[in-house]
Amino acid sequence: MSNGVSRRVFLGLAAAGLATPSWANPPSRSLRPVPRPDGLGTVNMPGIERLLNDAGVSGKVSVAVARVGDGKILESHGAQSAQPPASVAKALTALYALRYLGPSHRFLTKVVATGPLKNGVVQGDLVLRGGGDPTLDTNAVADLARSLKAAGVTGVKGRFLVWGGAMARVARIDKKQPDHAGYNPAVSGLSLNYNRVHFEWKRSASGYVTSMDARSNKYRPDVTVAKMKISNRDVPVYTYKAVGKEDHWTVARSALANGGARWLPVRQPELYAGEVFRTMARSHGIVLKAPKVTQGAPSGTVVAQHQSPDLRTILKGMLKYSTNITAEMVGMAASLARGAQVSSLKTSAQAMNLWAAETLGMQSARLVDHSGLGEASRMRADEFALVLAQASQQKVLQPILKDIALRGDNGRVNKGHPLEVKAKTGTLHFVSALAGYISGPGNTELAFAIFGADVSARERLIGPDRERPKGARTYNSRSKKLQQKLIERWGAVYRA
């Protein structure tokens, strides 16, 4: 980059700090102190103001960088202005979940029999009981059905019930997102495949062949709780309507081309999981009635159960792939463990805000969910940079953050870049955030937060414009370049 710092410069700076003169013989005359030249040891890097002016990023940009350990703010700009954090909020959610659930916590999904087992037949109902596992997938459901068979179950006299009441039921994470956004599904204590259904289409001689299934790398069970119809129109591309207990979709024929696939959000999560479990059980000769949602917490004998990965592993995946539903589910689980009354994502986020204020000093945190998808959420760059700079938080969070690649002038990843960055990204239309850690050949580790948003541009988004609005890609591209320039400035000036 034009203002970038080469590996030679960084290593040279580090070497300069370590070098000491040595002579074969003592000097022939005494050495008198010489006045230190002005500017010795300083690094000529553009200031924040110049970087911001040159970047051409609209709206407001708030930045702060602090030294890890003593938590001293080294530099900031507009850092007291609360901004939308987008998915950077997930980093705070990770700290929250680790505090109240613990890194070794595992979620349990259970199959419960409400009556005794006689000659292989359950003399009562069979219940698929969700335990808040955000990673439950079709493979795990298949394992549950296999375990049910291994327990000696061959049939069920009563009903087949599904329960997701371990946490509040939410129809969608953010009401402003497009209906067909796979990152904005329903949330429930029983969630399967991140509450997404796989829609696939192929052109045939008579039109199109479509399928809706709950596929994994091993299985591809069809589902009927979500249905698709092709309509002769150009726009909108998708429409959604809840019909009874089913998700009914339509798609514009003009948008299909010869074939393709995409994941669509599920709005009936308990019935979706129940239908897939019923299919898997049938493959083992166990015939179940159609699933029905039960509101009361079922009790009985556990005949099969699935255990999730440990929470630390779950959070590392969440931070890497930025899965919204994972953030919401672990966030609500943490709020419940804290003892909060959780009736919605907003009330759970309020419990997290209170914890952040009381424990971390984030007095201005105003999150409306745990994923950062809701655009009304706000965080301050200086407050979050200080949280990241605390040695105790750094030890917990840094190891599970994603490696962020820095790029050269040609736009390609610079594998030889002297700086290493582990951080969480955050991206919405006209919102771009990055927060995490900078390390390099120097002896100073830095924590930083960069929040940028053009709120007025977001407020102008309506209808179809929300999916691919004009100017959003340019905003994001410029923001990413600015973020790297800021990181390189801090790495050079503060000896990362």
SS3 call for 423: strand
Chain CA centroid to CA 433, Å: 13
pLDDT for 13 equals 36
> What Å distances lie between residue 52 and 34, 310, 458, 469, 495, CA to CA?
39, 41, 20, 23, 22
pLDDT score recorded for residue 409: 87
Q: Residue 91 is encoded by which pair of tokens?
A: 């980093």
Handedness of CA 92, 93, 96, 98 (dihedral sign): negative
Query: What residue type is 339 in one-letter code?
Result: G
SS3 state of residue 189: coil
Query: Alpha-carbon distance 373 to 427, whole Å?
Result: 9
Q: What is the pLDDT of residue 24?
A: 35
**Closest among 67, 56, 166, 83 to 364, alpha carbons compared:** 83
What tens digit of pLDDT does each residue of 42-82 get?
A: 567 899 999 999 999 999 999 999 999 888 999 999 999 99
Say what the pLDDT of residue 14 is: 37
Q: Please classify residue 317 by burial: count the beta carbons closer than 10 Å to its beta carbon, then call 0-12 exposed, 13-18 middle and 19+ buried.
A: middle
Q: Residue 211 pairs with which residues in a beta bridge?
A: 200
pLDDT at 33: 42
Q: Say which residues have a Cβ less than 8 Å from residue 329's Cβ, sequence separation at least 6.
A: 132, 133, 134, 167, 187, 191
Asked whether the CA dihedral 68, 73, 75, 81 is positive or negative, the reply is positive
Region of residue 8 (left: phi > 0; alpha: psi -120 to 50; beta: else): alpha
Q: Convert the pLDDT of each residue in 169-204 to its tens digit.
A: 999 999 989 999 999 999 999 999 999 999 999 999
pLDDT of the residue at 495? 85
Distance CA 347, CA 362 (A): 18
Rounded CA-CA distance 356/351 in Å is: 9
Q: What is the pLDDT of residue 469?
A: 86
Q: Which positions of the chain have pLDDT values less than 50?
A: 1-41
Which structure tokens are listed for 238? 């998708």
String of DSSP letters for 392-415: HHHHHHGGGSEEE--B-TTSSB-T
Query: Token pair 């592993």 is at which residue?
Result: 313
- Omega prior to 236 cis, within 30 of 0: yes
pLDDT at res. 443: 84
Rounded to the nearest 5 percent, the helix, strand and coil shares of the chain are: 30, 25, 45
Give CA–CA dist 446/385, Å, rounded.
Answer: 9
Coil, strand or helix at 207 = strand
